[in-house]
Amino acid sequence: MCGIIGVTGRPDAAELLLEGLERLEYRGYDSAGLVLSVPGSLWRARAAEGTTSVGALRVLAAEAPGASTGLGHTRWATHGHPAVENAHPLFDCTQRVGVVHNGIIENHAEIQGRLVASGHTMASATDTEVLAHLVEERMAGGMGLAESVRVALGEVRGSFSIAVVSSDEPELLVAARRNTPLILGLADGAAFLASDIPALLGQTDRLFVLADDQLAELRPGSIAVSTLDGLPVEPPALSVHWDLAAAQKGGYEDFMSKEIREQPRAVADTLLDRCRPDGSLALDEAKLTDEDLRSITRIHIVACGSSYHAALLARYAIEHWAELAADVDVASEFRYREPVLDPKALALGVSQSGESLDTLLALREARARGARVLGVTNVVDSSIAREADGVLYTRAGPEICVAATKTLLAQIVALDLLALKLAQLRATRSPREISATLDALHRLPAAIEEVVSRAKEVDDVAKALGGARDFFFLGRNVGYPVALEGALKLKELSYLHAEGYPAGELKHGPIALLEPGAVVVGVATRNPLWEKFRSNIAEVKSRGATVVLVANDGDERAAQLADHVLWVPEAEHLLSPVLDIVPLQLFAYRLARLHGLDVDRPRNLAKTVTVE
């Protein structure tokens, strides 16, 4: 996920691009860059200064020549470190083609191999750069810029919004998209493109949406759109009545709503390009070799907060698919309990930011005790990513709301991939079973979309329980970590008393707290302990608690047992948590809003916890 902006036909192009990038920074900020089209050449500036990248770029741009056409980019790295040489715009060999890209080119390694064999030199480690060289190849053959982009995209798999400029056609910008956003803007004598509305607010209100597999040619005062197959189309107009703050939230009232709705994309991106043509799983950023992973005899997972819940779920997946022993610890406890590790142990740290100090220190402790270390994180080149022997990235894009939503779902599927990879290496599951599970993983984004579309039903349940003060979240098997996550979300967002329990443990103490007025939220989707779980729910019901169940569509018995049901589609039981968590996020969100609270910035909490 990143921010793209482009303009042609405005003498103040550089300033306009910089302002646009400032407004797009919430989409990604590990580096930023811009390219301006000046007679006969392209002028480029790039900076990789983390959150201050756009500011650093502004300093460099003080040297910029006057230009009326250009592109800008603020990056959230997926392939290649957040360094200046990997910052966009990326050039071809001749420095006459500049490309900015949001998304992932899935078959970049293949294309790169061919390009390098035919004499091209790659200057970055990104997946994006191949696009510039593909366009260069076509233009060298005499094709115009727009046709070159169209033909080049015929070779590409994956997701992209791209914009391309060439010094050979200095006033033209060519843009195209598949699965990531891009909008177009038109004004007298100028034309614009951007990945999101905030970048263009105030420049024009004639905005259009570019659809998947369409290509746009922007010239001063005109835009022509066609399909990637070359058929002309009329892009639909976009009417926008948002101010800047609302636009940055995509029109949602808060970042949490936006990020909940971005979950299908976060999961799809995390799954992208992980499967080699021979069916083997490539955890491409994991520097540990297959041999290293095969020699592992025990996994120790450490994490905090929601990441700890992803870790608990990973244990079920690793034990079931890979038949490998896995322990899970809260990171801040692990390092002080004198854990026994050896070189055949793998310490796996899960942290959204890659900076959680407790997790970082736990991994250091594990390494000091002889284990190898693997990090699962959303931030390329974060401390955990740098220090670990290997790293597996989630690709959820920046998460701004303090409470984790899309990054958690991305962690769960990344850890599923790791578990399946281990199963492959250890031959504990047949290729057929692994491939069926991968297919099921790829069906999750559409199912998440379906669950999110039922937000109104969750709102109604939350409203009915608006006066409740005590919530008990129960689950068994993989439903147990889901229950913990549901309780955590409710606590952190609404400040209500919420506890998560393994349902079988209830009778050993907590059941004493149940009385009329208490709410029990049960994760009752199908898993191996489904029947036993129902008996646990019957026990709480007879103590007078109000029962809310997350249950699979069509489950009549759940409907009979519960006062309210949050319905989700059925999924393979180890994958079901990815769906079951979503209504609990929506439930916590709605209760917090009913209590008038700021969901994006709950009291006392920080997004990245860098203290012990």
Give residues in contact with ligand GLU (CB under 6 A).
Answer: 1-2, 28, 75-80, 101-104, 126-128
**What letters, b where the CB count within 10 A reaches 16 and e where it falls short, cover 370-403?**
ebbbbbbbbbbbbbbbebbbbbbbbbbbbbbbbb
Residue with Cβ nearer ligand GLU (10 or 108): 108
- Minimum Å gap between C-beta 606 and ligand GLU is 25
Q: How many Cβ atoms sit within 10 Å of the Cβ of residue 592?
A: 24
Single out the residue of 393, 359, 372, 371 nearest to residue 289, CA to CA.
372
Residue with Cβ nearer ligand GLU (101 or 138): 101
- The per-residue DSSP string of 310-373 comes to HHHHHHHHIIIII--EEEEEEHHHHTTS-----TTEEEEEEESSS--HHHHHHHHHHHHTT-EE
Residue with Cβ nearer ligand GLU (125 or 436): 125
CB 263 within 8 A of CB 582: yes
Tokens 């913990």 belong to which residue?
A: 484
- Minimum Å gap between C-beta 152 and ligand GLU is 16
Residue with Cβ nearer ligand GLU (269 or 358): 269
Residue with Cβ nearer ligand GLU (83 or 511): 83
Structural tokens at position 425: 């290496």
- The per-residue DSSP string of 172-207 comes to -EEEEEEBS--EEEEETTEEEEESSGGGGTTT-S-E
- Minimum Å gap between C-beta 332 and ligand GLU is 32
CB 73 within 8 A of CB 87: yes
Residue with Cβ nearer ligand GLU (398 or 602): 398
- Minimum Å gap between C-beta 31 and ligand GLU is 9
- Minimum Å gap between C-beta 459 and ligand GLU is 32
- Minimum Å gap between C-beta 72 and ligand GLU is 12
Catalytic residue among 287, 304, 541, 607: 607
Spatial CB neighbours of 484, under 8 Å, sequence gap ≥ 6:
309, 312, 473, 475, 500
CB 3 within 8 A of CB 21: yes
Residue with Cβ nearer ligand GLU (54 or 581): 54
CA torsion 338→344→345→346, rounded to 10°?
Answer: 140
Catalytic residue among 2, 275, 304, 401: 2
3-state secondary structure of 301: strand
Gyration radius from the chain CA atoms: 25
- Minimum Å gap between C-beta 121 and ligand GLU is 18
Single out the residue of 87, 72, 89 nearest to residue 10, CA to CA.
72
- Minimum Å gap between C-beta 251 and ligand GLU is 21
- Residue number of the CB closest to ligand GLU reads 2
Q: Is 607 a catalytic residue?
A: yes
- Give, in order, the Cα–Cα distances in Å from 492 to each of 118, 302, 459, 604: 56, 21, 18, 9
CA 40 vs. chain centroid, Å, equals 39
Residue with Cβ nearer ligand GLU (237 or 282): 282
Distance CA(522)–CA(464), nearest Å, equals 17
CA torsion 583→587→590→594, rounded to 10°?
Answer: 170
- Minimum Å gap between C-beta 596 and ligand GLU is 36
Residue with Cβ nearer ligand GLU (285 or 459): 285
Phi and psi for 43 in degrees, rounded to 5?
-110, 130
Long-range contacts of 381-388 (CB under 8 A, 24+ apart): 381/30, 381/77, 381/81, 381/82, 382/351, 382/353, 382/354, 382/355, 383/354, 383/355, 384/349, 384/351, 384/354, 384/355, 384/356, 384/359, 384/360, 385/354, 387/360, 387/363, 388/349, 388/363
- Minimum Å gap between C-beta 23 and ligand GLU is 16
Residue with Cβ nearer ligand GLU (79 or 274): 79
3-state secondary structure of 393: strand
One-letter amino acid for residue 147 of the chain: E
Residue with Cβ nearer ligand GLU (128 or 166): 128
Tokens 């902006």 belong to which residue?
A: 5
Phi and psi for 553 in degrees, rounded to 5?
-45, 130
DSSP element (H, E) containing 233: strand 232-233
- Minimum Å gap between C-beta 402 and ligand GLU is 23
Q: How many Cβ atoms sit within 10 Å of the Cβ of residue 59?
A: 12
Q: Which sequence positions are flagged as catalytic?
A: 2, 607
